Amino acid sequence: MIRWLAGLIGFALAVTSALAAEPALIGVGYLGVAATRSTLSLVEQPAENDGIAGARLAIEDNNTTGKFLGQRFVLEERRIREGEDVVRAAIALAEKNGFIIADLPADALLKVSDALRERGTLLFNTGAIDERLREADCRANVIHTAPTRAMLADALGQYLVWKKWSRWLLVVGSHDEDKLFADALRRTATRFGAKIVQERTFEDKGGARRTDSGVTLIQRQMPVFTQQAPAYDVLVAADESEVFGAYLPYRTWDPRPVAGSAGLVPRSWDASQDQWGAIQMQNRFMKLNSRRMSAVDMQAWTAARMIGEATSRTNSGDVKKVTDFIKGPDFSVAAFKGTRLTLRDWNLQLRQPILLVDGRMVVSVSPQEGFLHQVSELDTLGYDRPESKCKLK
Amino acid sequence: MQAEVRTQMSRMWRVGLLSGLALAAAPAHAFIAYVSNEKSNTVTVIDTDSWTVTKTIKVGQRPRGIDFTRDGKFVMVAVGDDDTIQMIDSKTQAVVDSLPSGPDPELFAQDAAGKILYVANENDNTVTVIDLEKRARLGDIQVGVEPEGMTISPDGKTLINTSETTNMAHFIDTSSRQIVANVLVDARPRFAEFKHDASELWVSSEIGGTVSIIDPKKHEVIGKVTFEIPGLRKEAIQPVGIGMTKDDKTAFVALGPANRIAVVDVAARKVTKYLLVGQRVWHMAFTPDEKYLLTTNGVSNDVSVIDVAAQKVIKTIQVGELPWGIAIAP
């Protein structure tokens, strides 16, 4: 018995010293979709590595810190092609990785989260902005660094109301996600006292986003589409599907600014964001990826940094320990937005300021001054605790 | 009875005379403060006797970190977007030279002799080492992500660098230029300051909202100063600059967008008072006699003057746009 105990102690000592010499490996998986969507503006076309590029930078940042702590982060990337089984790919990724950064559509994300629940893998939703993932369909193993439609709509609405542009002409696309964004904008208008003077639907009749004939036709169509509107201050477009939004600025019948899916756009991040020390990260990102950083890149960077933040604070790579810390009351992460970011404990959504950008500059950052809250002003953006339907399980 | 009144009168008269003398003697103790204006690309020169701006010096792009050389002959100002540190001749008050600081210098520290300068390069995760006399680069040290705060221990043996995204204070041996210890602090550490007796290192965390107190021998956080201001959101409290009196009894901490300087009892590690200054207060400097503390207020474009003994703000001076750093002639 004593010999056995001594042997055990000897073994434990050997393990400890081996750990001290060899850095602890922390596996982070990245699960995304291989296809990129088409945008009206060529400039806005997402890069082939949109999202992954942000995760790669955060892994580098984590490793710079990790070398002082004996931690090494490894990123395993997996992109799903059409027809491939996302659940199978997720399970394969989870073999080596306790954390998975997922840029997936809502349904795929739910399937993956349910398939990995028993395993204890922690998922980070960095792509889907659907409200339902934080409400009726919320999951205890999914943390959301992507903002929600309601957060984006509220961020925009607060600014428009602050600017006293409170009469909105709402133009909605004909796809489901356009309608969801319109729902969020209507909720925002009600919350903050704006008035939607009229709604119009822009039907997607198909057609190419690029043509040799160019802008001639658009220049004729858009003024006609926006004429005879009741008096309004700003046209708010809900066009996540990229069918018409970007055609509206400078082409409305009445000379009015455009906001929403074009013109002044709410985003978690922008290539032009350089406040609060962001310039250093923008420079690092450019150096690593030879392009500018998008919102999805930032959402993935934040997810990977949250993992790194928690492993350094707990001095551990243990998934359970790290997960508990991230979900606990002491967790916060710095992400170049002028304030610490924390999780809403009722649905695991990351609280964050939202930038309002025009494609060249950051015009403003919400929450706007004067929108008050008893817990955090960041909770004036999106659904608050009392309204939430989420029951984490 | 009468005699007593007379004695009192004469004492009052004497006190009056003395304070009059003190006032008359004040100009001899006038100092010159240099303030870097991040947005205007200028350095404002302030006379601490008249509390007026006496000159505005054009410098390179995005001036932030600023300090005197030990001999008082030059003011060094890090102009980050020009990737250099410019040297202002304190006599002629003009830029006369520059230093090979490496890319994007922000804050820097020099050794006791004033011979070697250590510069934090935010973009490169490095600290650049410069020979001040030869104005030549001696080498660099790899540190964490976004190095920022820089200070040197009173004995000159340990250089401290804080890295904003790694959230550490790195302890660097100045002779071997190797990192000897790393201490994890709260998020976005921006500034480090030793107690004059070297017994403690104070590190401010802008996003974490705290000041960590580190035992420099054990390399451990032994305490934390926290801040609470009624009616103000926790997120608005963002500690940056730290100033400590020579007797190590009182520390002043700039709280950024909280628009206040916290007065901290160093022994108790507790805030005793909050002084309202200008908006987004960044950094600070004492006059050498420690009578006054000057703070740079980024958003309101001014400098607040604090009477150190009275712990009161007595004056505000308009400077350039987005004042950031401040140095006062020794």
The identity of residue B260, as a single letter, is R
Contact A68 B166 (CB under 8 A): yes
What pLDDT score was predicted for residue B3?
46
Closest-CA distance, B187 to chain A, in angstroms, reads 6
Asked whether this complex has an ipTM greater than 0.95, the answer is: no
**pLDDT score of A332 more than 90:** yes
Report the residue from A283, A333, A376 with minimal CB separation from B123. Answer: A283
Q: pTM here? A: 0.85
Return the closest-CA partner of residue B68 out of B79, B60, B76. Answer: B76
The per-residue pLDDT of chain A, averaged, comes to 92
Determine whether the interchain pair B122/A332 forms a contact, defined as Cβ–Cβ distance below 8 Å: no
Tokens of A328: 């606990």
In chain A the domains, ranked by start, together with CATH numbers, are 2-147+270-352 (3.40.50.2300), 150-267 (3.40.50.2300)
Least CB–CB distance from B144: residue in A64, A334, A378:
A64
3-state secondary structure chain B: CHHHHHHHHHHHHHHHHHHHHHHHHHHHHCCEEEEEECCCCEEEEEECCCCEEEEEEECCCCEEEEEECCCCCEEEEEEHHHCEEEEEECCCCEEEEEECCCCCEEEEEECCCCCEEEEEECCCCEEEEEECCCCEEEEEEECCCCEEEEEECCCCCEEEEEECCCCEEEEEECCCCEEEEEEECCCCEEEEEECCCCCCEEEEECCCCEEEEEECCCCEEEEEEECCCCCCCHHHCCCCCEEECCCCCEEEEECECCCEEEEEECCCCEEEEEEECCCCEEEEEECCCCCEEEEEECCCCEEEEEECCCCEEEEEEECCCCEEEEEECC
pLDDT of res. B260 = 97
The CA distance from A121 to B106, in Å, is 41
Q: Do B179 and A332 touch (CB under 8 A)?
A: no
The Cα–Cα gap between B330 and B323 comes to 21
Beta carbons of A340 and B165 less than 8 Å apart = no
Q: Are A65 and B164 a contacting pair at CB < 8 A?
A: no
Q: What is the pLDDT of residue A375?
A: 87
| Minimum distance, in Å, between the CA of residue A280 and any CA atom of chain B | 5
Residue A36 near residue A52 (C-beta atoms within 8 A): no
pLDDT at residue A314, as a whole number: 95
Segment A160-205, tens digit of pLDDT: 999 999 999 999 999 999 999 999 999 999 999 999 999 999 998 8
Q: How close is the nearest chain B Cα to the Cα of A276, in Å?
A: 10
DSSP state of A229: P
Fill in the DSSP letter of residue A103.
E
State the Cα–Cα distance between residues A390 and A379, nearest whole angstrom: 16
Contacts of A283 in chain B (CB under 8 A): 104, 123
Q: Assess contact for B120 and B108: CB atoms under 8 A.
A: yes
Backbone phi, then psi, for A96, in 5-degree steps? -105, -15
CB-CB contact of A10 with A18 (8 Å): no
pLDDT, average across residues A379-386: 96
Residue B163 has pLDDT above 90, yes or no: yes
Q: Give the gap in angstroms from C-alpha A110 to the nearest C-alpha of chain B.
A: 32
pLDDT for residue A380 = 97
Mean pLDDT value across residues B88-102? 95
The pLDDT score that the predictor gives to residue B83 is 94
The percentage of residues in chain B with a pLDDT greater than 70, rounded to a whole number, is 91
Residue B202: count of CB within 10 angstroms of its CB: 25
Q: Which residues of B touch A313 (CB under 8 A)?
A: 184
pLDDT at B38: 96
Are the beta carbons of B209 and A340 separated by less than 8 Å? yes
Cβ atoms B236, B192 nearer than 8 A: no
Per-position b or e across B106-145, b if 16+ CB within 10 A of its CB: bbbbbbeebebbbbbbbbbbbbbbbebeeeeeeebbebbb
Tell if the CB–CB gap between A65 and B165 is shorter than 8 Å. Answer: yes
Q: Tell whether the model's pLDDT for residue B8 goes beyond 70.
A: no
A277 and B209 within 8 Å at the Cβ level: the answer is no
Which residues in A lie closer than 8 A to residue B163 (C-beta atoms)? 65
DSSP class of residue A230 equals P
* The dihedral sign for the CA sequence B223, B229, B232, B236: negative
User: Quick one: pLDDT at residue A206?
Assistant: 79
Burial class (CB in 10 A: 0-12, 13-18, 19+), A251: middle
Which of A315, A339, A365 to probe the B interface (max B CBs under 10 A)?
Answer: A339
**What is the percent of chain B with per-residue pLDDT over 90, rounded to a whole number?**
85
Give the pLDDT mean for A41-67. 95
Q: What is the mean pLDDT of chain B?
A: 91
Which residues in chain B are contacts of A334 at CB distance < 8 A? 164-165, 167, 187-188, 207
Number of A/B CB contacts below 8 angstroms equals 64
Task: Retrieve residue B127's tokens.
Answer: 């600290």
The answer to whether B144 contacts A65, with C-beta atoms less than 8 Å apart, is yes
In this model, does residue B2 exceed pLDDT 70?
Answer: no
Check B179 against A68: CB less than 8 A apart.
Answer: yes
Whether residues B125 and A377 touch (CB distance < 8 A) is answered with no
* Nearest chain B residue to A62, by CA: B166
pLDDT recorded at residue A21: 59
In tens, the pLDDT along A105-123 reads 999 999 999 999 999 999 9
Instruction: Count Cα atoms within 13 angstroms, Cβ side, for B240.
Output: 24
Neighboring chain B residues of A309 at a CB cutoff of 8 Å:
167, 187
Which residues are CB-contacts of B168 (< 8 A; sequence separation ≥ 6)?
A: A65, A68, B144, B162, B182, B183, B184, B185, B189
| Dihedral sign for Cα atoms in the order A49, A54, A58, A61 | positive
Instruction: Encode pLDDT of B255-276 as tens digits.
Output: 999 999 999 999 999 999 999 9
Q: What whole-number distance in Å separates Cα of residue A308 and Cα of residue A304?
A: 6
Which member of A68, A281, A339 has the closest CB to residue B235? A339
Distance CA B318, CA A22 (A): 56
**The dihedral sign for the CA sequence A33, A317, B209, B159:** negative
Measured between CA atoms, how close is A330 to chain B, in angstroms? Answer: 10
In a mutational test of the B interface, the residue from A59, A61, A68 whose CB has the highest number of chain B CBs within 10 Å is: A68
* Min distance B166 CA to chain A CA atoms (Å): 5
> Band of the pLDDT at A213, cuts 50, 70, 90?
low
Q: Which residue has the tokens 């609280």?
A: A351
pLDDT-derived band at A52 (thresholds 50, 70, 90) equals very high
